[in-house]
Structure 1
Amino acid sequence: MENPSFASSRKVAVLPRGFGFGWTNDHHLLQIACNVDASETFIAKQRYKKADTEVTPLQSPNGRADAGFVSWNTSAIFKDNDSRRDYMFGELVSGMAGSDVDVLQPAFPILPQDSMGFFGACLGESPGIKTEQITIDNIPYAYAIPMLTGWELSYPCKDHHVKEIGIWIDDLHYDQVPNSGVGTLRYRLSSVLDDTSDNGHAYRHKVSVLELKPLTPPPLPPTRLP
């Protein structure tokens, strides 16, 4: 992604806006996952994905930092019981930059799982929508916005039909602790992966926090003596 204003920004936040998965034919589903990884204001002389093509925006042999570009990596999984089946994936993102912009980006590895098979031992999950409350303390910014940048939904034993699928966050609250220079973020995570029977699902998620306006100024760089 390129924007001239990125060149003067300390951090560029990549904001997920949408995604899509697809097979050329109808199949059962075992696991689906997506992870938007950390971004950097850096570009190398290599091919980058753009829409349904690949582009090489940098022509010089040397990589460049702070040149108005931001790069990141997005990983995805979309599989049934087969060890391999090709699929299509695409995403939409926006970029936000500025002197008061930062992103808290936890690690979130995703790995393909295998079906337990006919003779495998498996513990099932409860069906229906699953919900939990999440709290993140000690955020040193005036504003904090959770972004669902990583998630995984799966059937624990084998692949099934899909009747309803989704994962989302809502009920967001951010409160500054008086006279502390930090705040507390709370949100609710919900997920569903139902088929035509009573097979439940497992889930994982990652929230990246879009942080705006530091409550305490960043430390000055160390003084270098001649």
Structure 2
Amino acid sequence: MIRYGSLLLALSILFLLSACASKSLEQKTINAADKVRIPTSFEQLTFKSEGRTVFEDEGKFILIEGNKCTQRDSGSEAATVLQWIELPNYVDSGTVILNGWDMRFLHGDREVNTMSADITHSKIVKNEGSTFLVFEAQGKLSDQNRKDAYEFCVFYTAFGYRSVLFDAVIEGDYNGIEAAALQNKNQGALATLENTASRGTLKGNAAIAIIPRGFDFQFDNAFECELGFPPCKWADRTDYRLLQLAYNLSQSSTTPSLDGSLHWATQTVFKDNGTRTYRIRTRTAMILGNSVKLRADFLALNPRAGKTATCSKNVDGVVRTQTFRINDLSFDYAVPLLTGWDLSYECEHQQVQRAGIWLHDIRFDPDSSSLEYKVSSILRDSDGVPSFNTAQRITVLGLNRRIDTPIQRSAPVNIKIRE
């Protein structure tokens, strides 16, 4: 049973999150036109997460997945999800992963100015025998005017463990590690953001894994005048039809460089038929230690050139789902990370009604050392024509228990032998 004092402490911590928004709306129906009363941030936190326990090795490790949706009346403010998950008491370390997102305009399709999905804060809270993972996620979908209602859904995977059994430390957990850049159109559509952090030399077989936390894409302001009132200004926001939206988080190595520094990079694409200047911001966290292992996949981002010569214009306005299975994993526990994705329209740029990609239905079987999961994706305008292309990159984070874990032994029995 949850102790109210511990729960209130967890809620208070989330209440202090700097990016906390004051308005959010729990999803009722996808196309609901009627407004409902927007719950306060505290009211959001009174609802327990509906996360599903994927796997648990009692006393050692737990893996949870879930999702939550919220709506906003306009794109002038980000949609915020405040979430808390109750964890077993043996958990004293853990974090949350952004493993997918799904966003849509609620009334038709639009050109886009901003698209973002970001887990801004995360924290493990322990008090009076209770343990919680609390986090905040923000998403945004807007056009030039930012007046259209939209829905944002975050898909997350959380894991927790008893730290004495693992040589694994999570860093950058609360605020994440941010990187930002302005990609000028003269530099091309493919942007690269590099992160370097100083950690010192890791010992033994220690490795590092970078955890995806979020992205924020926004077309830079440029003069674009559309008929309307009031008259447009030079500094007005711009929006464009979308051809391609892509993200790829990669690390050059699982170990530090010779000087002990850590390095990883994120590549992005955000474009219409042409190449536009856009702003990028990304967020990550990291886990490192001798218990950390990594099985990386590959995804090459190639910016689309624009309208193709041949185009079938098939109708495909539904969610596309694929099932994947990995066998013979040499890990005690495995956590899939959505570290890359590429969504693009089949023919040329279109307006956007819905876009998203998410990892779900995770199944880990330690007996067969196998991991199974599904990836769903969608990119469509109002009529679902043309179809879309999708690709993803899944990195498997492995965790192995320490082999030098102290074993509790009974106290020695002293026997005195009479001389």
* TM-score, length basis structure 1: 0.76
Q: CA deviation at 1:6?
A: 6.5
Residue in structure 1 matched with residue 307 of structure 2 by the alignment: 116
Change (3 A) 1:172 1:143: same
The match for 2:392 among 180, 184, 205 is 205
Change (3 A) 1:208 1:6: farther
**Which has the larger displacement, 160-169 or 34-43?**
34-43
Identity of aligned residues (%): 29
3-state secondary structure, aligned to 2:293? strand
Residue in structure 1 matched with residue 406 of structure 2 by the alignment: none
Question: Does the aligned pair in 2 maintain the 1:38–1:105 contact within 8 Å?
Answer: no
3-state secondary structure, aligned to 1:77? strand
Question: Does the aligned pair in 1 maintain the 2:209–2:294 contact within 8 Å?
Answer: yes
CA distance in 2, matches of 1:100, 1:209: 14
Residue in structure 2 matched with residue 7 of structure 1 by the alignment: 202
| Root mean square deviation, CA, Å | 2.1
Question: Does the aligned pair in 1 maintain the 2:217–2:270 contact within 8 Å?
Answer: yes
The match for 1:147 among 329, 337, 340 is 337
CA distance in 1, matches of 2:245, 2:283: 18
3-state secondary structure, aligned to 1:89? strand
Q: Residue type matched to 1:188 in 2? A: K
**Matching of residues 82-101 of structure 1 within 5 Å:** 82=274, 84-101=275-292
Superposed CA deviations along residues 6-52 of structure 1, whole A, max 9, x for unmatched, are 73362110001111111031100001111111243445xxxxxxxxx
Change (3 A) 1:33 1:6: farther
Superposed CA deviations along residues 116-148 of structure 1, whole A, max 9, x for unmatched, are 35xx21123522111111111111111111000
Residue in structure 2 matched with residue 81 of structure 1 by the alignment: 273
Change (3 A) 1:215 1:121: farther
Residue in structure 2 matched with residue 136 of structure 1 by the alignment: 326
The match for 1:33 among 235, 238, 246 is 246
Question: Does the aligned pair in 2 maintain the 1:105–1:209 contact within 8 Å?
Answer: yes
CA distance in 1, matches of 2:267, 2:240: 21
Residue in structure 2 matched with residue 21 of structure 1 by the alignment: 217
Question: Does the aligned pair in 2 maintain the 1:142–1:215 contact within 8 Å?
Answer: no
Provide structure 2 residue ranges, at least 5 long, that are not aligned to the other structure: 1-195, 221-237, 404-419
CA distance in 1, matches of 2:283, 2:331: 27
Aligned residues: 187
CA distance in 2, matches of 1:211, 1:92: 21
3-state secondary structure, aligned to 1:169? strand
Provide structure 1 residue ranges, at least 5 long, that are not aligned to the other structure: 44-63, 217-226
Identify which of structures 1 and 2 has the higher relative contact order when contacts are C-alpha pairs closer than 8 Å and 6+ apart. Answer: 1
